[in-house]
């Protein structure tokens, strides 16, 4: 939810600057999705940072959830998705 808020409001600037859009070199099916670039981290410690985890988690969420117009819609769709995953386990 924090990443969605940062992308929607462009604030705080120091976190917004770490979230880079993913632009594939060739036209791919994922080109029209709003994916974020996941930076390469050399250590496991680096993989626990906001700069790495935030794009990774947001890219794994379904495209329908990611394309929500408002924060309320995003929350509702995310909650439904997480509950359906929990019910299927």
Each residue of 2-20: pLDDT tens digit? Answer: 888 888 888 899 999 999 8
Q: Give CA–CA dist 3/10, Å, rounded.
A: 10
pLDDT tens digits along 25-73: 777 665 567 788 899 999 999 999 999 999 998 888 877 787 888 889 9
* pLDDT on residue 28: 64
Arithmetic mean of pLDDT over the chain: 85
Q: Find the domain containing 58 and state its range.
A: 2-88
Per-residue tokens: 32:
């029209």
* pLDDT on residue 44: 92
Among residues 78, 54, 55, 53, the alpha carbon closest in space to that of 68 is found at 78
Total domains in the chain come to: 1
Which is higher by pLDDT, 75 or 23? 75
* pLDDT on residue 31: 56
Q: Is the pTM of this model over 0.75?
A: no
Per-residue tokens: 86:
């929990």
Q: Are 6 and 15 in contact (CB under 8 A)?
A: yes
């Amino acid at each position: 939810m924090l990443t969605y808020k940062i992308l929607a409001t462009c604030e705080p600037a120091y976190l917004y600057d770490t979230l880079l859009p993913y632009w594939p070199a060739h036209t791919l099916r994922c080109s029209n999705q709003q994916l974020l670039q996941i930076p390469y981290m050399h250590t496991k410690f680096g993989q626990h940072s906001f700069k790495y985890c935030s794009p990774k988690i947001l890219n794994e969420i379904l495209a329908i959830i990611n394309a929500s117009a408002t924060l309320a819609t995003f929350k509702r769709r995310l909650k439904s998705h997480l509950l359906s995953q929990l019910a299927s386990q």
